[in-house]
Amino acid sequence: MTEQERVALVTGAAGGVGRATVGLLAAHGYAVIATDISPDVEKLTDHGVAPGAGAVVGLVGDVTDSATAELAVAEAVRRFGRLDLLVNNAARFLRRPIGQSSDDDFDGLFATNVRGAFAHSRAAVEPLARTRGVIVNVTSISGLVGMANQSLYAMTKGALVQLTRQLAVELAPRGVRVNAVAPGAIETEFIAEARAADPDPEATAAAVLSRHPLGRISTPDDVAAAIDFLASPAAGGITGTILSVDGGYVAQ
Ligand SMILES: NC(=O)c1ccc[n+]([C@@H]2O[C@H](COP(=O)([O-])OP(=O)(O)OC[C@H]3O[C@@H](n4cnc5c(N)ncnc54)[C@H](O)[C@@H]3O)[C@@H](O)[C@H]2O)c1
């Protein structure tokens, strides 16, 4: 099979990491179903029209609704005949002390960050088994180490770490590989709300940067490259791994 024949589904595709991932996969010849709750995702349609690049179809959908997962997978199979890669990337952030975190915060964050990945993985498993395909989950350093005021977000990202390991074992007999990338801080709009509520966002940003040993914040392209690698035949022997893209954050 050549890369030109591969088909990917990327959630959270209108955001920083999602857009970079869709662009890189399309440049490598994947046809991509790109989904997001934001209508901006429709602007990605036909993005991959460069010579040799794959087609991109942008679809609006909320990952908290399991029907979105079923529809997106069905659309990949209907339009392109197969599914080779699922990237569970859609997520919301919450920086809030546990004493101020509500049950609704818990349910909302888990519905987006965890149930979305669960529902998409469940919907994709049969098509992926047919192509000996790949799942890449986007987790976080927050799923690997403790960080103040992120209990709910960190729990969701920790759940994705364990979903990754669990599905790697469960789906290995069917030839499906399951891995995750765990970014450190990335330059995107992801923490815009938390930044707006921060009394001293510049001090917080400086403190965050100082905890990244390489002295740089990752870019969406850094994360997209790691996703692309884990999806590629070069990673054919890799499953159940959590690939840190964090400038050394969790190595300390
Ligand atoms: N930005 C960071 O600092 C950072 C750090 C570590 C991990 N991550 C992870 O990277 C991934 C991508 O985040 P990003 O930095 O590109 O942020 P982003 O906010 O730019 O993109 C996230 C996208 O998810 C979409 N989304 C949110 N809720 C959704 C829903 N219910 N249904 C469908 N789409 C929904 C948003 O509309 C947005 O386009 C996330 O999984 C995040 O947890 C981000």
Q: Is the CB of 150 under 6 A from ligand 1?
A: no
CA of 88 to the centre of ligand 1 (A): 10
Q: Is the CB of 137 under 6 A from ligand 1?
A: no
Using an 8 Å Cβ cutoff, are 90 and 72 in contact? no
CA of 190 to the centre of ligand 1 (A): 6
| Secondary structure letter of residue 186 according to DSSP | B
Side by side, the strands of the sheet bearing 134-138 are 56-60, 31-36, 7-11, 85-88, 134-138, 177-183, 242-245
Convert the pLDDT of each residue in 72-128 to its tens digit. Answer: 999 999 999 999 999 999 999 999 999 999 999 999 999 999 999 999 999 999 999
Greater pLDDT, 216 or 5: 216
**Considering the entire predicted model, what is its pTM?**
0.97
* CB contact set of 117 (below 8 Å; sequence gap of 6+): 63, 88, 137, 160, 163
CA of 23 to the centre of ligand 1 (A): 16
| Secondary structure letter of residue 114 according to DSSP | I
Binned at pLDDT 50, 70 and 90, residue 37 comes out as very high
Place of tokens 């990752």: 218
pLDDT at 146: 96
Convert the pLDDT of each residue in 128-140 to its tens digit. Answer: 999 999 999 999 9
d(CA 86, CA 107): 24
Pick from 242, 209, 241, 245: nearest CA to 225: 245
| 94 three-state secondary structure | coil
Q: Is the CB of 64 under 6 A from ligand 1?
A: yes
Binned at pLDDT 50, 70 and 90, residue 20 comes out as very high
d(CA 147, CA 194): 14
Backbone angles phi, psi at 32, to 5 degrees: -130, 130
